[in-house]
Amino acid sequence: MTPTASSAEAGPAIFAASLCFEAPYLIEKLVNDHVCASEDEARTLFREVKRYLFLNRADQSKLWEMHSFRIDEVWHQFVLFTRQYTDFCMRYFGAYSPHNPSNAPESPKHNAGKTLQVATFKEFHAYYEKVFGEPLPDCWYDERSVCLHRRVLDARVGKLLLKEEGGRVELVDGVGEVVFAVNALAAQAMSFIADTGAFYVRELPGNLEDDEKIALVATLVEHKLLRLAA
């Protein structure tokens, strides 16, 4: 029987035990709800959730942010199993680990009366490699999972204005700030994206080649203007 960690007892050894935790009910939900395309993908992303939580608990001298919408969604789905997630946190970490969405507004976090420094993605990358002895997996880079058959979601549909300016097309927010700009050759595709809440990359209209469609969507995903679905 796996021991339950108290706040005083929790440490690297019992943190590491969390990496072996299995949640078949979560894997099933991720596939059935089309959060993940397969059980293998679900297990891969869940492994990264566990590693992320481990890293956060093992070093609390900095604020380690969530950098992937895809991994963040799997974490969110795990949290929805309230009893199981709470038991997981208390058993291995001795305290509940709140879910902090990857797109949440930045806010200071305090530890023993001190405001924690927010770690950069580069620092997270180096920390991950140091702890696990391997490169940060591609799944942490959402844009690398874009393909023609990938479905993407636009959380800002209808909230961004599209305009052409000087041979390029721009996405402009409610205060007039340009949040993204690209060559006007992609105008038809960008108009489609701005007006469509969910679509497959292959559905982009206009004269873009397949690799150009992938590159355009990947860039928008990298800038967190689009997010991936299964």
- Model pLDDT for residues 154-212, shown as the tens digit of each residue: 877 778 888 988 889 999 988 889 999 999 999 999 999 989 989 999 999 998 999 99
| 158 vs 44 pLDDT, higher one | 44
Indicate whether this model's pTM tops 0.85.
no
pLDDT at residue 7 above 70?
no
| 116 vs 79 pLDDT, higher one | 79
Tokens representing residue 93 in the block: 């970490």
What is the CATH number that goes with domain 151-228? 3.90.930.40
Going from N- to C-terminal start, the domains of the chain cover 12-140, 151-228
| 11 vs 83 pLDDT, higher one | 83
Please provide the average confidence, as pLDDT, over all residues in the chain. Answer: 88
> CB of 126 within 8 A of CB of 64?
no
